[in-house]
Amino acid sequence: MLKLIILGPPGAGKGTQAIKLAKTYRIPHISTGDILRDNINRGTNLGEQASGFIKRGELVPDNLITKIILEKLDGEECNLGYILDGFPRTIWQAKKLDDYFRRIKQNSAFVINIKVDDNILVDRITGRRTCQKCGATYHIINLPPKFENKCNICRGNLVQRPDDKINVIVNRLEVFKLQIKKLEEFYSISPNYQIFDGSEEPNNLTKKIAKYLCCSE
Ligand code: AMP
């Protein structure tokens, strides 16, 4: 069973790596951002509660997101493992996740921390375009779609996420920096913690992460 937590700032490529690794290991990719956006699009109660926080680039309340994730991890689809992308994001969430592992008598997860310089992040996020239909992501310069503003996979429309606009990004990066120090302190004492350079070409980075996982398991 492979349980993997991917830490990193917005734009570090957590989602890209999680998708590739989930395919390789045939385990679900659980993205808290995707779950919340899906709930907003469907107009659910959770979506309504989360939407204001996301628009402002703030974190949604710890207990709200933690309950959803822990329930998901109990599901059958997570029996063989999973990749957590965007969770935990605070020390409170990390401790609750650790309590959960202890409660169900499981080992802790592998934790990889993807680091990238701020100027690269801002470039990546402002250029990011996301398919409204399937969630696939592109970049206007680094990874343009074949047809303008259309998803290569499902031909859905590509849009800029409202929280990928520059005024919100600045706040998202600040929120990230406030939390990451404590998370690093918490996880860095674990033997299953490793830092990776997120400025690497994505396929090379996936290979390095996969190598690390297979050598450490
Ligand atoms: P992401 O797509 O991972 O960048 O997440 C988008 C937004 O969803 C974040 O800016 C937060 O507002 C919210 N969010 C995602 N994951 C979490 C989490 N673990 N805790 C609190 N808020 C979250």
Residue-wise DSSP of 51-72: HHHHHHTPPPPHHHHHHHHHHH
Helix (H, G, I), strand (E, B) or coil at 78: helix
Question: What is this structure's pTM?
Answer: 0.94
> Which region holds residue 86: left if phi is over 0, alpha if psi is between -120 and 50, else beta?
left
Average pLDDT along the chain: 96
- Domain extent, residue 34, equals 2-116+167-216
The answer to whether 124 is a known catalytic residue is no
The domain that holds 56 is classified in CATH as 3.40.50.300
Res 73: pLDDT: 97
128 is catalytic: yes
Q: Classify residue 140: in a domain, yes or no.
A: no
Residue 207 domain flag: yes
Question: What is the pLDDT at residue 215?
Answer: 80
* DSSP 3-state of 125: helix
Residue 135 has what pLDDT? 87
Max Cα–Cα distance, the chain, nearest Å: 50
For residue 217, pLDDT over 80 is answered with no
Cα angle 203-205-210, degrees, rounded to a multiple of 5: 95
119-136 mean pLDDT: 93
Instruction: Provide the 10 A C-beta neighbour count for residue 184.
Output: 15
Asked whether residue 184 is assigned to any structural domain, the reply reads yes
Percent of the chain with pLDDT over 90: 96
Examine the pLDDT at 216 and tell me if it is beyond 80: no
Q: Which atom of ligand 1 approaches the CA of 57 most closely?
A: 10
Tell whether 198 is covered by a domain. Answer: yes
Average pLDDT in the 174-187 region?
97
Average pLDDT over residues 137-159: 95
CA distances from 217 to 28, 192, 214 (A): 18, 9, 6
CB under 6 Å to ligand 1: residues?
10, 32-33, 36, 53-54, 57-60, 65, 86-87, 89, 93, 163, 172
Spacing, Cα 151 to ligand 1 middle (Å) = 24
Whole-number pLDDT of residue 121: 96
Residue 159: inside a domain, yes or no?
no
Whole-number pLDDT of residue 193: 97
Asked if pLDDT for residue 18 goes beyond 90, the answer is: yes
Query: Closest residue (by CA) to atom 11 of ligand 1?
Result: 59
Mean of pLDDT values over 110-117: 97
Number of structural domains (the chain) is 1
Reduced to 3 states, what is the DSSP secondary structure of residue 114? strand
